[in-house]
Amino acid sequence: MNKWRNLLYKSRTDSLKNGLVFTILGIAIAIGANVIYAKIFGYIIGLMFILIGLFFLIFKRSDHIAIHEHAILLTVKKQIVIKKEDIKEIAYKELNTHKNPITSYYPVLLLNNGQEIFINIAFNKLINRDFEKIIKSYL
């Protein structure tokens, strides 16, 4: 049994799968451009798909988070274990985008030692409803 008890929430990361799919599709389009009449067009489309795939693989990596009963495991570049006793409160950072009328919220963990840890997973009334329920009822 896990020492942090039951797993309440684990984030899903699609950026790795999307990055691989776009990169492989771009390579296939670039190779397939040799058999079509408009080779330059095929090379350009293939290169665009490869660049989108590399963008997802390199820059669009999302944070991995696992919420257990007694701790939150946050993996950004290394794994950080935040025990439930060390969290003073959970605040929410509000983000309004100019094109989207729906406000998104990002949780910020306020620790007992005064440190703030930003969790890069947004939720609103349309996305990540299960994450919202668990993070709001965690303390």
Longest dimension (CA), the chain: 65
* Amino acid residing at 90: I
* Sequence spans of domains, the chain: 15-58, 82-136
Q: What is the pLDDT of residues 56-92, one digit of tens each?
A: 877 766 667 888 888 888 877 788 888 989 999 999 9
**Alpha helices, DSSP H only, in 1-139?**
15-32, 39-58, 129-136
CA distance 130 to 106: 14
Q: Tokens for 18? A: 């999307």
pTM of the model as a whole: 0.64
